[in-house]
Amino acid sequence: MKRTLGVCYYPEHWPMDQWATDAARMVETGLTWVRIGEFGWQRMEPAPDQFDWGWLDRAIEVLGDAGLKVVLGTPTATPPRWMIDKHPDMLPVAADGHTRKFGSRRHYDFSHIGYRKEAQRIARLMAERYGKNPHVAAWQIDNEYDCHDTTLSYSDAARSGFQDWLAQRYQSTDALNRAWGNVFWSMDYDSFDQIDLPNLTVTEPNPAHVLAFRRYSSDQVVAFNRVQADEIRKHTDAPLIHNYMGRITTFDHWAVGADLDIASWDSYPIGFLSDRIEGTPKEKQFYLRQGHPDNQAFHHDLYRAIGRNRMWVMEQQPGPVNWAPYNPAPLPGMARLWAWEAFAHGAETVCYFRWRQAPFAQEQMHAGLLRPDSEAAPALAEAAQVAQELADLPEVDAGAAPVALVFDYESAWAWDTQPQGADFDMFRLAFAAYRALRRAGLSLDILPPDCADLSAYKFVLAPGIMKLSDPFRAALAKFDGIALIGPRSDGKNEELAIPTPMGPDLPDTDVTTVMAESLPPSDAIKLQGGGRFLHWFEHLEGNADVHLATKAGQPAIMGGDTIRYLAGWPDDDTFDSIIGNLCDALDIPTYDLPKGLRIRDTGTHRFVFNYAPKPRKWGDVTIPAAGVHWEKL
Ligand code: GAL
């Protein structure tokens, strides 16, 4: 497959007579794609049912005639001001009960059926008008679901939608009361319309109630996306895409992805480093202008899976962003490295955000490929270099990975609802496992929780999975590599209650978690032979073999040859040694990588990325800071 580059462009921000020059310059830079439209509703429909499509017709024509392919976005993340007059109750409500106002973006409630119909209507009108347009080669639906914490809304619309959803799921309040354990604290309900949203309670609400609301809220994102996808599909065969974000777990991306053709995501490595990734101040200083070396890779692998092998980066950071606590400029070379890393992980296309820095409004301090005065910003030359290199490089395919990591959104909701320890977070745990695998130089796949076939892998990790799915359990029963399940896996039923017999329920493996404890940062469980568990430790019992024990003699890893349960959350060094030992046992080669180097193997090439701020050696090759090296496999 031919890999391509693109850029995000807002024709409505610039005079019409500038568009052709911009388009010619995009083509000259080597860009193939241009994404437009996703915030343009007010310009498309300035007043209810009064349309002005002229500018968009013209923009598509100018860009297309220049030789660019257009990704057309539906503008539903920015309903115009008049929409609020039409549907005053469509604004989202925060957990503390205050209404979130008009004046920025994403000011809508996923549960509001009136607004959902408006979104469906504008998607239909756009698809009718542009579905057969030869320049429109892909569609983006909405923009970044959950950006600015917008999945959960505690509105009247959400309450009545939730009550209907509960009635359908449980059929009777008796069944719901039983499933949730409402006998505890006399919380039983007699009718579904008594059930409020789980905010503003005196102390914590019933975790089953919260988990139900999280499921309901995720379903609303899926439904909102689906009504638009269904409309657009009637008029085009072009692929449908959403641009997901990093580290967002509030809705089930596997479920949204099932209705789309490509999963894309928005990659802001430096913006993320300062406050969305764990790390010591020293590490953050080391990676200040490069971003964390595993954050991009994790999301590429995750979204490649969610897109069923079709993945893009829809927005790639080009220079300083405007929204992190501090916004340093990338090291020269990073705008090139990030693109190559995406391609090495299977991205078909990488689009830089944005073409020209806007001189006005919220994002005026956010860099683009061009400065506000249209002179080149540093990333323009790097994008041009990638385009040139792509033209020269033979095909890059994704290749087969020996290792897989299971990632589950429901579990993220479960542990948000009932963390039991302040540091327990699903993403953090999965990412800790992923980071250790990458430090060992492994290329891996991420799998959905209902994955039914593990035969392609030798080593599978499933940390933090609330309840193993039946297909996954069946796949484990047939697996002949090593599966490391846990910590905190398969100890709950689907209502977040403790089942009897107690879990985990692992094929042919006699292990039971009889007690779990969480630990403050000042404490750790020491392991025999060195190593430590942090944050979390489960007391295991059973007849299975103990493969690793704590200093106090309790099981730390327990199970058979194939399926093993990990009782705690290993610190980085311990994760490294556990993974190293299991890979040795499985004959999977690992590497002792110098700090900042990462490898990704494709079917044809090995790529080596230098995230360090200084040169690094890879064999005989010296890779400069922010450098990329590739060699034939
Ligand atoms: C993304 C968003 C873009 C822009 C960008 C700035 O989250 O999709 O519209 O705001 O961030 O970094």
Q: Over the range 219-251, which residues count as b (16 or more CB within 10 Å of their CB) and which as e?
A: bbbbbbbbbbbebbbebbebbbbbbbbbebbbb
Please indicate, yes or no, whether residues 362 and 422 belong to a single structural domain of this protein: no
pLDDT at 631 over 80: yes
- What's residue 565's pLDDT? 98
Backbone angles phi, psi at 209, to 5 degrees: -65, -45
Same domain for 283 and 203: no
Residue 459 CB–ligand 1 contact under 6 Å: no
- Atom 12 in ligand 1: residue holding the nearest Cα: 321
430 and 350 in a common domain: no
In the predicted model, is pLDDT for residue 260 greater than 90? yes
Same domain, 307 and 221: yes
- Among 392, 421, 445, the domain-final residue is 392
pLDDT at 2: 87
Pair (172, 112) in one structural domain = no
Measuring CA to CA, how many Å separate 237 from each of 6, 124, 133, 360?
Answer: 20, 14, 11, 37
Read off the pLDDT band of 275 (50, 70, 90).
confident
CA of 143 to the centre of ligand 1 (A): 9
> 63: CA distance to ligand 1 center in Å?
22
CA 245 to centroid of ligand 1, rounded, Å: 9
CATH of the domain at 142: 3.20.20.80
Whether residues 384 and 418 share a domain: the answer is no
Taking only the tens place, the pLDDT of each residue in 304-323 is 999 999 999 999 999 999 99
pLDDT at 398 over 80: no
Q: Say which residues have a Cβ less than 8 Å from residue 486's Cβ, sequence separation at least 6.
A: 462, 463, 504, 538, 565, 566, 567
Quote the DSSP letter at residue 9.
Answer: -
Residues 356 and 259 in one domain: yes
In short, whether 341's Cβ falls inside 6 Å of ligand 1 is no
Predicted confidence at residue 434, as pLDDT, reads: 98
d(CA 399, CA 304): 12
Which value, in Å, is the radius of gyration of the alpha carbons in the chain? 25
- The pLDDT tens digits of the residues spanning 576-605 come to 999 999 999 999 999 999 999 999 999 889
Is 625 contained in some domain?
no
614 inside domain: no
Ligand 1: residue of 104, 266, 313, 352 to mutate (most ligand atoms within 8 A of CB) is: 266
CA–centroid distance, residue 247 to ligand 1 (Å): 15
Determine if ligand 1 sits within 6 Å of the CB of residue 609.
no
Between the CA of 265 and the centroid of ligand 1 the distance, in Å, is 11
259 lines ligand 1 (CB under 6 A): no
Total number of domains in the chain: 3
Q: Is the CB of 144 under 6 A from ligand 1?
A: yes
Domain presence at residue 596: no
pLDDT in tens, 502-535: 999 999 999 999 999 999 999 999 999 999 999 9
Confidence of residue 394 (pLDDT cuts 50, 70, 90): low
Q: How far is the CA of 407 from the centre of ligand 1 (A)?
A: 25
Instruction: Output the CA angle 516-95-121, nearest 5 degrees.
Output: 115
The answer to whether the beta carbons of residues 229 and 145 sit under 8 Å apart is no
Q: Is the pLDDT of residue 399 over 90?
A: no
Q: Is 38 in the pocket of ligand 1 (CB under 6 A)?
A: no
d(CA 30, CA 390): 10
pLDDT of residue 175 exceeding 90:
yes
Q: Is residue 629 part of a domain?
A: no
User: Nearest residue CA, atom 5 of ligand 1?
Assistant: 353
Q: Which atom of ligand 1 is nearest to the CA of 38?
A: 9
pLDDT at res. 386: 98
Burial bucket for residue 136 (CB in 10 Å: 0-12, 13-18, 19+): buried
Query: Residue 274 above 90 pLDDT?
Result: no
Q: Which atom of ligand 1 is nearest to the CA of 143?
A: 8
Judgement on whether residues 438 and 516 belong to the same structural domain of the protein:
yes
Residue among 148, 315, 338 whose CB has most ligand 1 atoms within 8 A, to mutate:
315
Instruction: Please tell me the residue having the least CA distance from ligand 1 atom 1.
Output: 266
For ligand 1, whether the C-beta of 310 sits within 6 Å is no
Angle at 87 between CA 83 and CA 91, to 5 degrees: 90
Residue 146 Cβ inside 6 Å of ligand 1? The answer reads no
Q: 259: CA distance to ligand 1 center in Å?
A: 23
Is the beta carbon of 301 within 6 A of some atom in ligand 1?
no
How many angstroms separate the CA atoms of 622 and 325, rounded?
34
- Looking at the whole model, is its pTM more than 0.95? yes
Could you tell me if residue 187 is inside a domain? yes
Report whether residue 315 contacts ligand 1, using a CB cutoff of 6 Å: yes
Residue 175 maps to a domain: yes
| Residue nearest to ligand 1 atom 10, measured at CA | 363
Using a 6 Å cutoff on CB, does residue 345 contact ligand 1? no
pLDDT in tens, 405-434: 999 999 999 999 999 999 999 999 999 999
Question: Which sequence positions are flagged as catalytic?
Answer: 144, 315
How does pLDDT run across 325-343, given as a tens digit for each residue? 999 999 999 999 999 999 9
Give the pLDDT score at 317: 98
Residues 70 and 140 in one domain: yes
| Segment 495-504, tens digit of pLDDT | 999 999 999 9
Give the per-residue pLDDT at 397.
Answer: 75
Examine residue 574 and state whether it is found in any structural domain, yes or no.
Answer: yes
Do residue 426 and residue 350 come from a single domain? no
Pocket test for ligand 1, best of 363, 364, 365 (most atoms within 8 A of CB): 363
Per-residue model confidence as pLDDT tens digits over 127-148: 999 999 999 999 999 999 999 9
Average pLDDT over the chain, rounded to whole? 97
Q: Which of 169, 193, 209 is the last residue of a domain?
A: 209
Q: For ligand 1, is residue 353 a contact (CB within 6 Å)?
A: yes
> Which of 443, 416, 441, 439 shows the shortest CA–CA distance to 427?
416
Residue 266 CB–ligand 1 contact under 6 Å:
yes
- How much of the chain exceeds pLDDT 70, in percent? 100
For residue 472, the CA-to-ligand 1 centroid distance in Å is 36
Ligand 1 probe mutation, 270, 322, 353, 364, most atoms within 8 A of CB: 353
Residues 163 and 264 in one domain: no
Domain interval for residue 498 = 403-585
**Residue 512 pLDDT:** 98
- Choose the residue to mutate in 147, 267, 272 for probing ligand 1, maximizing ligand atoms within 8 Å of C-beta: 147
10 Å CB burial of residue 324 (0-12, 13-18, 19+) is middle
Question: Could you identify the atom of ligand 1 that is nearest to the CA of residue 144?
Answer: 8
CATH number at residue 515: 3.40.50.880
CB of 147 shorter than 6 A to ligand 1: yes
Do 466 and 552 share a structural domain?
A: yes
Q: Of 369, 392, 415, which marks where a domain is finished?
A: 392
Ligand 1 pocket residue status of 143, Cβ below 6 Å: yes
Contact between 532 and 526 under an 8 Å Cβ cutoff? The reply is yes
What pLDDT is recorded for position 138?
Answer: 98
Q: Which atom of ligand 1 is nearest to the CA of 317?
A: 12
pLDDT of amino acid 401: 92
Is 594 a domain residue? Answer: no
